[in-house]
């Protein structure tokens, strides 16, 4: 499958959020990436249900909601009801990961697990057959605009090998510091979804930038 592109709304202009959502609607982007932060699991707070519902009301592409919150189990149904189509939880926040993943699936969403940049991909071996996607953090979660961690390439290649053996349908997302400078090598190393925030929303022509991420050289 050709890789997907998911602009991260964390970097959007919140005073003009409707316009930003329309921009993504009218671009080659495949998904909206929606970052939820609680000021507890990560040292930043973003937004919650009411904003997600409003985004959903005009979004013409699925919402990929990335939970950077402690105790996500308590909120999985609320995120589904707010409009999440894909939902991911951090490995580090789920003591009963198998149960969390299956709850997400039972509620009709694609279920994903996220790992921090310096957690080994091998930790995911047991859960890999159960998840629809893995989100590999390529920066420490909490903020947009950080520098891409190069060690991600090695982790991505190792995860791609595990995918062949354990779940060939698995979708691998990469999140953090993604730009047109690393898009092509990331796809070659096995990324199926490129998530990009500041590179897209700070570009002078975001629609064109999304197209360049979709068709990298």
Residues 6+ apart with CB under 8 A from 130: 98, 101, 102, 111
Q: Is the CB of 129 or the CB of 183 nearer to Zn ion?
A: 183
Least distance to ligand DX5, CB of residue 66, Å: 5
Q: How far is CA 3 from the centre of its chain?
A: 13
Catalytic residues: 35, 175
Contact present, 76 and 181 (Cβ < 8 Å)? no
Q: Which of 29, 52, 69, 178 is in the footprint of ligand DX5 by CB under 6 A? A: 178
Among candidate residues 96, 162, 98, the one with its CA nearest the CA of residue 130:
98
Q: Which of 39, 43, 145, 185 is in the footprint of ligand DX5 by CB under 6 A? A: 145
Dihedral pair phi/psi, residue 17, rounded to 5°: -60, -40
35 binds ligand DX5 (CB under 6 A): yes
Contact present, 10 and 175 (Cβ < 8 Å)? no
Number of chain residues interacting with ligand DX5 (CB under 6 A): 21
Among candidate residues 1, 2, 6, the one with its CA nearest the CA of residue 173:
6
Q: Is the CB of 117 or the CB of 166 nearer to ligand DX5?
A: 117
Q: Which does 62 bind (CB under 5 to 8 A by kind): Zn ion, ligand DX5, none?
A: none
- How many Å apart are CA 137 and CA 118, to the nearest integer? 9
Q: Which of residues 64-83 bind ligand DX5 (CB under 6 A)?
A: 66
Residue that has been written with the tokens 């859960």 in this structure: 127
Strand ranges inside 79-214, DSSP E? 86-90, 110-115, 133-137, 171-175, 193-196
- How many Å apart are CA 116 and CA 216, to the nearest integer? 26
Q: Which of 62, 83, 112, 141 is in the footprint of ligand DX5 by CB under 6 A? A: 141
Q: Which of 3, 66, 80, 90 is in the footprint of Zn ion by CB under 5 A? A: 66
Least distance to Zn ion, CB of residue 165, Å: 27
Structure token digits, residue 181:
């400078």
175 binds Zn ion (CB under 5 A): yes
Q: Which of 20, 30, 35, 192 is in the footprint of Zn ion by CB under 5 A? A: 35
The 40-69 site mask, x for binding ligand DX5 (CB under 6 A), equals: --------------------------x---
Chain residues in the site for ligand DX5 (CB under 6 A): 8, 10-11, 33, 35, 66, 139, 141-142, 144-146, 175-178, 195-199
């Amino acid at each position: 499958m050709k890789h997907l592109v998911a602009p991260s709304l964390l970097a959007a202009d919140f005073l003009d959020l409707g316009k930003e959502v329309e921009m993504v609607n009218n671009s080659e982007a495949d998904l909206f990436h929606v970052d939820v932060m609680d000021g507890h699991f990560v040292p930043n707070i973003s937004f919650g249900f009411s904003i997600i519902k409003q985004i959903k009301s005009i979004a013409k592409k699925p919402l990929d909601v990335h939970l950077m919150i402690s105790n996500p189990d308590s909120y999985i149904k609320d995120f589904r009801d707010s409009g999440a189509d894909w939902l991911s939880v951090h490995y580090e926040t789920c003591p009963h990961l198998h149960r969390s993943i299956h709850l997400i699936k039972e509620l009709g969403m694609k279920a994903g697990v996220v790992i921090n940049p310096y957690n080994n991909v091998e930790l995911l071996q047991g859960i890999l057959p159960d998840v629809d996607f893995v989100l590999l953090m390529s920066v420490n979660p909490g903020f947009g605009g950080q520098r891409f961690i190069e060690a991600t390439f090695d982790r991505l290649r190792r995860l791609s090998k595990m995918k062949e053996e354990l779940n060939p349908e698995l979708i691998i997302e990469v999140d953090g510091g993604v730009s047109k400078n690393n898009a092509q090598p990331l796809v070659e190393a096995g990324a199926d979804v490129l998530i990009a925030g500041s590179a897209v929303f700070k570009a002078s022509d975001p629609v064109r930038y999304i197209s360049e991420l979709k068709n990298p050289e």
